Amino acid sequence: MNSVPSSFLQKPRATTLVLIAVAALGSISTSTSGQATPNQTSTKAPSQIETSQTVSQRQAGAQKYFTDVLLVNQNGEKVRFYSDLLHDKVVIINSFFATCQGSCLPMNRNLEKVQEALGDHIGKDVFILSISVDPTVDTPESLKAYAKKLNARPGWYFLTGDKQNVDFALNKLGQYVGDKNDHLNIIIIGNERTGLWKKAFGLAQSDALVKVVESVLNDQGAGNK
């Protein structure tokens, strides 16, 4: 199983909105634009016919890559990284820490706006995963209070846990940082079943982020293009 390419781990400049469309765990093509609504590209070949067997094979590879390392949500519930949080889901993922005095709260306020725009899709068709880069300080209790401040509804999970487990999950997403203050202001949006993954600058206009999420949510997979 190939690791995520190094381009997935690069930290873009804070002024740049980056979108990356990827075939899950495969090659990555990157486009960078200073505009609020960048062009989008996909790595999927139009001629590719995707069967339930190929979906299952890809998901088996994804489970092997991400693994079921245990995390803990704001309700104190242990959750498996792949099986409970990613499998067959459309997800919006970011990293942050609750005591951050910089970009974390504005980025999560953006996600609050995305949550409102998506309405009933949240918790049903789309899930938000906010992973702490400071798990030794961010307890489930403190994250629950943070979630309340953001009016988080069911389907928006604030995740912490044993530091080695959290660091492992963040590393798999290309979001691990040695210093919490170096956390990325990048949001990952993925449709795990179809294999379409994109990245966006977390401080972009919320309506631009909603459009990216909707494009991933509405993806039908290569077999239905």
Distance (Å, rounded) from C-alpha 197 to C-alpha 158?
21
Helix (H) or strand (E) holding 23: strand 17-23
Q: Quick count: other Cβ atoms within 10 Å of Cβ 177?
A: 15
Task: Characterize the bridge pairing of strands 126-132 and 90-96.
Answer: parallel
Comparing 179 with 37, the larger pLDDT belongs to: 179
CATH superfamily of 14-34+52-224: Glutaredoxin (3.40.30.10)
Distance (Å, rounded) from C-alpha 225 to C-alpha 220?
7
pLDDT in tens, 139-189: 999 999 999 999 999 999 999 999 999 999 999 999 999 999 999 999 999
The predicted structure's pLDDT at residue 51: 79
Task: Characterize the bridge pairing of strands 126-132 and 156-159.
Answer: parallel
pLDDT in tens, 94-113: 999 999 999 999 999 999 99
pLDDT in tens, 63-100: 999 999 999 999 999 999 999 999 999 999 999 999 99
**Are 204 and 125 contacting, i.e. CB atoms less than 8 angstroms apart?**
no
Comparing 206 with 45, the larger pLDDT belongs to: 206
| Helix locations, 7-139, DSSP H | 52-66, 81-85, 104-118
The predicted structure's pLDDT at residue 50: 65
Tokens coding 74? 């704001």
Confidence of residue 52 (pLDDT cuts 50, 70, 90): confident
The predicted structure's pLDDT at residue 20: 33
At residue 4, what are phi and psi to the nearest 5 degrees?
Answer: -60, 130
In the chain, count H helices and then E strands.
6, 9
